[in-house]
Structures are given as structure tokens and as C-alpha cells.
Amino acid sequence: MINRSIRFKIIFWFVLSVAAILLCFGFLVYSNVRADLYNDVDDILELKAQGVVDYISGYWKAKNPHSDAVFVKNFGADFVESAESWVETMPEDLELADIKVTLYDTNGVTVAASQNAYAHARLPREFLDKALRGKSLFYSLARNVSATGLERRRMLIVPFKAAGKVIYLVGVEKPLNFTDVTLWRLRSSMISFFIISLALVFFTGFFLSRVILKPLERIVETMRRITSRNLSERIDNSGPRDEIGRLSDTFNHMLSELEKSFFAQKRIVEDVSHELRTPLTIIRGEMEVALKRVRSSEEYKSVMTSSLEEVNRISRIVEHLLLLARFDSHAVKLSFERISLSDLVEDILGDINVLARQKTLSVRLAVEEDVFINADRLNLRRAILNILDNAVKYTNEGGSIAVTLFKDAAGAVLVVKDTGIGIAQDDLGKIFDRFYRADSSRSKQGFGLGLSLAGTIFNAHSARISVSSKLKEGTTVTVFFPPA
Ligand code: ADP
């Protein structure tokens, strides 16, 4: 079910891609906000540390309004004494900003600290060394406070220098509770948002896929109903011209093609059986009669001659059908070469003249020399022969046939004009159909496959055939060949 359902796939990929987008987006937002919040804390600490340093040096200078040298000299001695009072009288805004101050001497020992300051009794060595080299340094500390759990603080140690020498260190610290809580809230809101969004996306995908796939299900339903017995059924494509609409059109088109070829095949089977039945009945009848009693050899010969005629007819039908079928399935490989159409037409007329003479038909020729085309000689010969054979077949004794071949701008044109029985307008559109014979010619020898085969062969040569005719006046068949 999971593997087979497009719906599941749509929902799965939809949810997965939205989850990936949300995760990337959330990660970016969270890390930016986090960096901003911590930077803000560091900025405040820096600002406040500078304030403390300014405050202390102001205080000291007021007390010792001497030179810098005296200031440095006295500093060490009086430092411890004054430190307590500095810390106690720290400016108020430090309290508001939740900042605690600790003062260290150059050995890293705490000299004075504000209340609740998270002071080290002694500044760890690595921090002290760095600070004594004159560099400010930031670091974060965490300690376990039983009531509130882990408490994190951010610290900044700023060395105070006078006359190029570090004389004490100012430590400012700020609890990170607020920042951590803010980040924690952001995290939980983002997680809730993520879960809710995914749920929403899941349901949206669920309903969207249902709406989108509904017409597809209708198509499947209809297709399931279609069998060879109701090939005329079509998918309802009255909806919008979207991909599904186009899919329905394509299916309907395919069904029409299938229906057409199905009926064509059916008709061919019917026609073939019908065509073969007559000669087979004749053969059977004659043989049955012949076998009723002993016959003379003359009688047997006559039966066999007439049977042979019918057998020949059957084999001609089968041969034509086979060829048509091979053309249909593209099994015929045409070998194109540049040939002289003029020579080919004259050559075919050599054969046709024999038949024409038997029917006392006059054949007029107007064949332009050196008309060349690209063609498969053998098959083209067969096609042109069928056209000329029809002209002879459907022209009564004493009639005439005119064959013209000439070059024109678009290639070459072959015209076969006869003064025969003609074709009714209603039949004209059907004479290329397999086994189609116009009523007027039913009695003649043909079996309705010649033009169909000729049409297929001309088609394979990219040549176009057109037939115009008038009943009882004659027929003109024109074939337009593309240039070589
Ligand atoms: P057939 O073997 O019956 O001649 P074709 O496929 O060659 O089959 O032709 C189909 C039908 O077209 C013929 O039965 C005939 O009715 C008509 N037809 C073709 N050529 C001519 C023509 N030159 N004059 C009159 N009718 C023609």
C-alpha cells in the first residue's frame, strides 16, 4: 500500500521537505538570536567594566591628587583599604543591570566583591596570566545552586593599568538566567511551532492530494471498465485543461486509435474470410461435382484449371495482405536509391501494353526524360503497376489511357488518366480502404487491396496521391513525388 500509493508519497515528501525547510530556518533563526543575546551580554559587561574602572580611577585621583608616580606607588598600599568602600558605593545602574563586581589584586586574590558576587577566592591561574598580560577576557561559569539548578554567569576580567603596569583587576559578572530562559522559551516555541506546522502540513497534504488525485481515480475507474466490448467509452474530460485534463485527452485519443485499429482489424478479418470464402466455395463445389462420378481426363483438367485460377486469386490476396501487414508493422525495410522515374514508368508500361492490347485500349505516353527521384525501385514499381493495372482493368474496350510524367518545382508528377467506368463521388473517399471496391466494379477481377497497398508505398516515399473521377467518363490518378 505504502509503496503503491502516490498519495502517501506526496504526503511523505511534502512533510519531509517542509520539515527540512523548517529545521534549517529554525536553526538559522535560533543561532542568530542566541549569538545576538550573548553578544548583548558581553557588550553590557564591557561597558560596565569600563564604568567601574573610570569610577575607581576618579575616586583614587580625587584622594591622591599627585602625580602618576605617586598614584602607582600608593596604590598597592591603600588599595585593599579602599576597595570595600568602592564596591559598596558602586553606581546604581550596575545593580539594575544585575551586574556584580569583584576586585582582585595582581595575585588574583579577591580584595572586595559586591553582594552575591560569584567571586573566585582566587582567580584561576590561566585567567590571571592572561589578564596580567594586559588583556581583557570573557568566560562563562556554571555552578549548581540547589534551589534553581544550574546557574550560569558570564564574566569579564579587565586589568587596570597605570604607568604601563597592571595594578589591579576588575571582574564584572552577569547571570545568564535571563538569556538562558529567553533562549529556552524560544527553543520550546520553535519546537511547538515545528510540531504544529508539520501536523498542519500533513493534513494539508492529505486533503490536497485527495483533491488532486480524485480525477486520476476517476480515470482509473473508467479505464478499468473499458474492455474490447465497450471501446467506445471515453473518460470525462470536461474539467480544466491541466495535466490531468491532458492525460484524459491522451487516453481518449489512445482509445480512439485503439478503437479504430480494433475495428479495422475486425473488418479485415471479416473481409478476408469473406474474400476467401468465394474462391474456396467454388473450388469445393467443383471438386465435389467432379468427384461424384468418374470423369474424363478433359473434365478433370477443366476442374483443375478453374481451381487453379481460384487458388491463384487466394494466393494474390494473401500476398497483398502479407505485404500490407509488413508495411503496417514497419517490417519492410525500404532501400532508397536515386532512380530514373522516367525509365521505371516506361519499363512498367512495357508490361501494361500487353494487357492493354488485349483490350484494344490505346495507351498514350508523354514521359519527360531524366526525371530522377529517391525510391525503393521494387516497391515503387509495384505501386505504379497497381495504378496502371486499375486503369486497364476499369476501362472498357476501345478506351484510352494517357500516362504523363514531368518535373515540376516541387519534384516530379505522374498522371494516369483513363476513359474508364469512373468512380462515384461517394466512393472516392473509400477506395484506399482495404478490400473496398466500388459497386460499379464489383464484377471485375480486383479484390480491393491494390490502391491500399499503393497508397502505403507512396506514403513511405513521402509521395502524395490524389484521385479525381467522374462516373462513366474516366478517372485521373496523380502522384506527386518529392525532389531527389
Ligand atoms: P481492386 O483490386 O478492386 O482494383 P483497388 O484497391 O486497386 O482494388 O481499387 C479499389 C477500387 O477503386 C476498385 O475496386 C475500383 O472500384 C476503384 N478504382 C480504382 N482505380 C480505378 C479506375 N482507374 N477507374 C475506376 N475505378 C477505379
Strands (E), 119-272: 137-145, 149-162, 165-175
Cβ–ligand 1 contact at 392 (below 6 Å):
no
Measured distance CA(99)–CA(437) in Å, rounded: 110
Residue-wise pLDDT tens digits, 471-484: 999 999 999 999 88
Cell numbers describing residue 7:
498519495
Mean pLDDT of 31-59: 89
> Dihedral (C-alpha) 430, 431, 433, 437: value to the nearest 10 degrees?
110
Amino acid making up residue 426:
D
Residue-wise pLDDT tens digits, 315-350: 988 888 888 888 877 788 899 999 999 999 999 999
Measured distance CA(187)–CA(214) in Å, rounded: 40
Q: Is residue 238 part of a domain?
A: no
| The pLDDT value given to residue 145 | 67
What sign does the dihedral 187-192-195-196 (CA atoms) show?
negative
Name the residue among 126, 127, 77, 65 with its Cα closest to residue 102: 127
* Containing structural domain, residue 154: 6-185
Percentage of residues in the chain with pLDDT exceeding 90?
Answer: 46
Q: Does 347 share its domain with 287?
A: no
Q: Is residue 69 part of a domain?
A: yes
Cα of 442 vs centre of ligand 1, distance in Å, is: 9
pLDDT at 3 over 60: no
Mean pLDDT of 269-289: 88
Burial class of 145 by CB neighbour count within 10 A (0 to 12, 13 to 18, 19+): exposed
Q: Is residue 60 part of a domain?
A: yes
The most confident of the ranges 147-156, 226-235, 297-306 is 297-306
Cβ–ligand 1 contact at 383 (below 6 Å):
no
Q: Does 349 share its domain with 447?
A: yes
Q: Does 287 share its domain with 347?
A: no
Cβ–ligand 1 contact at 450 (below 6 Å):
yes
Under 8 Å between Cβ of 416 and 403: yes
Cβ–ligand 1 contact at 431 (below 6 Å):
yes
Mean pLDDT of 103-121: 78
Cβ–ligand 1 contact at 342 (below 6 Å):
no
Q: Does 382 share its domain with 268?
A: no
What sign does the dihedral 289-290-295-296 (CA atoms) show?
positive
In angstroms, the first-to-last Cα distance of the chain is: 59
Cell numbers describing residue 426:
461517394
What lies within 8 Å, CB to CB, of 156 at 6+ separation is 42, 45, 46, 49, 136, 137, 138, 171, 172, 173
Mean pLDDT of 220-249: 83
Total number of domains constituting the chain: 3
Mean pLDDT of 291-316: 92
More confident residue, 286 or 444: 286
Cell 542566541 -> residue: 34
Q: Is residue 75 part of a domain?
A: yes
**Average pLDDT of every residue of the chain:** 86
Q: Is residue 197 part of a domain?
A: no
Q: Is residue 322 part of a domain?
A: yes
Cα of 448 vs centre of ligand 1, distance in Å, is: 7
Q: Does 379 share its domain with 426?
A: yes
Nearest ligand 1 atom to alpha carbon 421: 25
Cα of 318 vs centre of ligand 1, distance in Å, is: 18
| The pLDDT value given to residue 1 | 47
Cα of 386 vs centre of ligand 1, distance in Å, is: 9
Percentage of residues in the chain with pLDDT exceeding 70?
Answer: 89
Mutation pick for ligand 1 pocket among 394, 471, 472 (CB with most ligand atoms within 8 Å)? 394
Kind plus residue range of the DSSP H or E element containing 394: none
CATH for 432: 3.30.565.10
What lies within 8 Å, CB to CB, of 159 at 6+ separation is 131, 132, 134, 135, 136, 166, 168, 169, 170
Cα of 483 vs centre of ligand 1, distance in Å, is: 28
Mean pLDDT of 260-274: 82
Q: Does 129 share its domain with 273?
A: no
More confident residue, 237 or 64: 237
Strands 100-104 and 165-175: antiparallel
Under 8 Å between Cβ of 97 and 77: no
Cβ–ligand 1 contact at 451 (below 6 Å):
yes
CATH for 306: 1.10.287.130
Q: Does 22 share its domain with 119?
A: yes
Cα of 392 vs centre of ligand 1, distance in Å, is: 10
φ/ψ region of 144 (left if φ > 0, alpha if ψ in -120 to 50, else beta) reads beta
Cβ–ligand 1 contact at 388 (below 6 Å):
no
CA separation (Å) from 191 to 17, 23, 30, 300?
17, 10, 11, 103
Q: Which of 298, 328, 358 is the last residue of a domain?
A: 328
Output the residue whose Cα is nearest ligand 1's atom 19: 390
Under 8 Å between Cβ of 477 and 387: yes
Residue-wise pLDDT tens digits, 142-199: 777 666 677 788 999 999 887 778 888 888 888 888 899 999 999 999 999 999 999 9
Q: Does 315 share its domain with 414?
A: no
Which one-letter DSSP state was computed for residue 231? T
Under 8 Å between Cβ of 150 and 144: yes
Cα of 263 vs centre of ligand 1, distance in Å, is: 23
Cβ–ligand 1 contact at 441 (below 6 Å):
yes
Measured distance CA(302)–CA(306) in Å, rounded: 6
Cβ–ligand 1 contact at 452 (below 6 Å):
yes
Mutation pick for ligand 1 pocket among 321, 451, 471 (CB with most ligand atoms within 8 Å)? 451
DSSP codes of every residue in 143-167: EEETTTEEEEEEEEEEEEEETTEEE
Band (301; pLDDT cuts 50, 70, 90):
very high
Output the residue whose Cα is nearest ligand 1's atom 4: 446
Mean pLDDT of 85-109: 75
Q: Does 307 share its domain with 382?
A: no
Output the residue whose Cα is nearest ligand 1's atom 12: 431
Which one-letter DSSP state was computed for residue 109? B
Cβ–ligand 1 contact at 474 (below 6 Å):
no
Under 8 Å between Cβ of 44 and 72: no
| The pLDDT value given to residue 29 | 96
For residues 338-372, one letter each, b for 16 or more C-beta atoms within 10 angstroms of the residue's C-beta and e for the rest, the string is ebbbbebbeebbeebbeebeeeebebeeebeeebb
Cβ–ligand 1 contact at 395 (below 6 Å):
no
Under 8 Å between Cβ of 194 and 22: yes
Cα of 418 vs centre of ligand 1, distance in Å, is: 12
Cα of 189 vs centre of ligand 1, distance in Å, is: 86
DSSP codes of every residue in 323-362: HHHHHHTT------EEEEHHHHHHHHHHHHHHHHHHTT-E
Q: Is residue 364 part of a domain?
A: yes
φ/ψ region of 148 (left if φ > 0, alpha if ψ in -120 to 50, else beta) reads alpha
Span of 116-125, 386-395, 425-434 with lowest mean pLDDT = 116-125
Cβ–ligand 1 contact at 437 (below 6 Å):
yes
Q: Is residue 166 part of a domain?
A: yes
Q: Is the pTM of this model over 0.85?
A: no
Q: Does 83 share its domain with 179?
A: yes
Cα of 177 vs centre of ligand 1, distance in Å, is: 102
Q: Which of 328, 352, 377 is the last residue of a domain?
A: 328
Residue-wise pLDDT tens digits, 59-89: 777 776 665 655 566 665 566 667 777 676 6
Output the residue whose Cα is nearest ligand 1's atom 20: 390
Cβ–ligand 1 contact at 59 (below 6 Å):
no
More confident residue, 131 or 1: 131
Cα of 431 vs centre of ligand 1, distance in Å, is: 7
CATH for 98: 3.30.450.20
Nearest ligand 1 atom to alpha carbon 451: 6
Q: Does 35 share its domain with 166?
A: yes
pLDDT at 444 over 60: no
CA separation (Å) from 18 to 2, 11, 198?
20, 11, 7
Q: Which of 185, 206, 223 is the last residue of a domain?
A: 185
Under 8 Å between Cβ of 407 and 414: no
Q: Does 357 share its domain with 315?
A: no
Cβ–ligand 1 contact at 119 (below 6 Å):
no
Output the residue whose Cα is nearest ligand 1's atom 8: 448
